[in-house]
């Protein structure tokens, strides 16, 4: 960030065209955020506490639950703060940090989806060699690579956005600091930053989506070759929840950053789905469709209730 930037803070104007609905939105988003936190933390606790779930598949699922706690926490607390009638101001450094962690966690989670798709590919197409291929060192290495890609992506986007001079208007027509909302406030030519930002986000999303498609194409072919209907159903059930979440995650990102002219209302709706609703759906999708997770969750809830009653 350049030292000659004159702005000390930005004003988040909130969700476009939501004037007068602040109280209703505060109640709705508070409930969703609380449900997201509780649901994902319960899934993580269930995986950690059950030795039967200490496998690569559930290792990645546990990490996904942590990301689904952290990712909405970048934007939701501040949004709930000003929806409750408090200050809408965010410091210059706070805005930069919000943009960085939004893209860091979002990109890392996208990479984690691709890693999980590869894990399912190995499990279904090479079941006898699964534990050899997906040994602990490989799993940790894949996760570290995802973190590295996410950090690199966020650093590039944040650097190109905040190397510009911000000296005039400071009213961000959005509910959090993101590239399409912040760049129009710069007192310099933003064309390069806009091109780099859109190209990086869309390129990474398309590359990750391509890797997922390759894995699931191979998985689909393998499932069709399974002779028993029960075997096909079991193989499909292990992948359907993950594939559903991927479809919910990649679509919004591409829609936002491929818009020729950013539409604040469309962007806000899509980002709310991506930032607030999608992390909540993870806990529902994986807990309702996965028998092992459901059994472990029941044990965790039973222990919590039994302890509370003592």
pLDDT tens readout for residues 27-61: 999 999 999 998 888 888 888 888 888 889 889 98
Residue 4 domain-assigned (yes or no): no
Dist CA 105 CA 94 (whole Å):
16
Residue 130 domain-assigned (yes or no): yes
Beta strands in 69-109 (DSSP E): 89-91
Q: Could you tell me which residues come within 8 angstroms of residue 263 by beta carbon, excluding any fewer than 6 positions away?
A: none
Residue 275 domain-assigned (yes or no): yes
Residue 267 domain-assigned (yes or no): yes
Residue 201 domain-assigned (yes or no): yes
pLDDT digits (tens, 9 = 90+) for 84-134: 888 889 999 999 999 999 999 988 988 888 898 888 889 888 888 999 999
Q: Could you tell me which residues come within 8 angstroms of residue 244 by beta carbon, excluding any fewer than 6 positions away?
A: 285
pLDDT computed for residue 77 by the predictor: 92
Residue 3 domain-assigned (yes or no): no
85, 165 contact by CB (below 8 A): no
Residue 257 domain-assigned (yes or no): yes
pLDDT computed for residue 198 by the predictor: 72
Domain, as residue range, for 210: 9-309
Residue 277 domain-assigned (yes or no): yes
Number of domains in the chain: 1
Q: What is the CATH number of the domain that holds 32?
A: 1.20.1070.10
Instruction: Find, among 258, 267, 271, the residue nearest to 203 by Cα.
Output: 258
Dist CA 3 CA 26 (whole Å):
36
pLDDT computed for residue 1 by the predictor: 47
Instruction: Find, among 259, 275, 257, the residue nearest to 80 by Cα.
Output: 275
């Amino acid at each position: 960030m350049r030292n000659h930037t004159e702005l000390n803070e930005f004003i988040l104007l909130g969700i476009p065209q939501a004037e007068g609905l602040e109280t209703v939105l505060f109640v709705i988003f508070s409930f969703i955020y609380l449900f997201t936190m509780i649901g994902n933390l319960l899934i993580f606790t269930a995986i950690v506490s059950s030795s039967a779930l200490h496998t690569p598949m559930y290792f990645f699922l546990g990490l996904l639950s942590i990301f689904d706690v952290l990712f909405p926490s970048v934007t939701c607390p501040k949004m709930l703060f000003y929806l409750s009638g408090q200050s809408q101001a965010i410091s210059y450094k706070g805005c930069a940090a919000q943009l960085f962690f939004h893209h860091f966690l979002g990109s890392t989670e996208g990479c984690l989806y691709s890693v999980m798709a590869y894990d399912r590919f190995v499990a279904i197409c090479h079941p006898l060699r699964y534990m050899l291929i997906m040994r602990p060192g490989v799993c940790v290495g894949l996760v570290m690579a995802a973190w590295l890609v996410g950090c690199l992506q966020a650093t590039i986007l944040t650097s190109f956005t905040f190397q510009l001079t911000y000296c005039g208007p400071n009213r961000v027509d959005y509910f959090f600091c993101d590239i399409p909302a912040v760049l129009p406030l710069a007192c310099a030519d933003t064309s390069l930053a806009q091109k780099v930002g859109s190209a990086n986000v869309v390129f990474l999303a398309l590359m990750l989506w391509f890797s997922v498609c390759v894995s699931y194409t191979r998985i689909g072919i393998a499932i069709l070759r399974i002779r028993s209907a029960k075997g096909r159903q079991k193989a499909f059930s292990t992948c359907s929840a993950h594939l559903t979440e991927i479809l919910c995650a990649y679509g919004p990102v591409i829609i936002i950053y491929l818009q020729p002219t950013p539409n604040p209302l469309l962007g806000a709706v899509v980002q709310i789905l991506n930032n607030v609703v999608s992390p909540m759906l993870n806990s529902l999708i994986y807990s309702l469709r996965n028998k092992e997770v459901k059994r472990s969750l029941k044990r965790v809830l039973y222990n919590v209730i039994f302890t509370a009653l003592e």
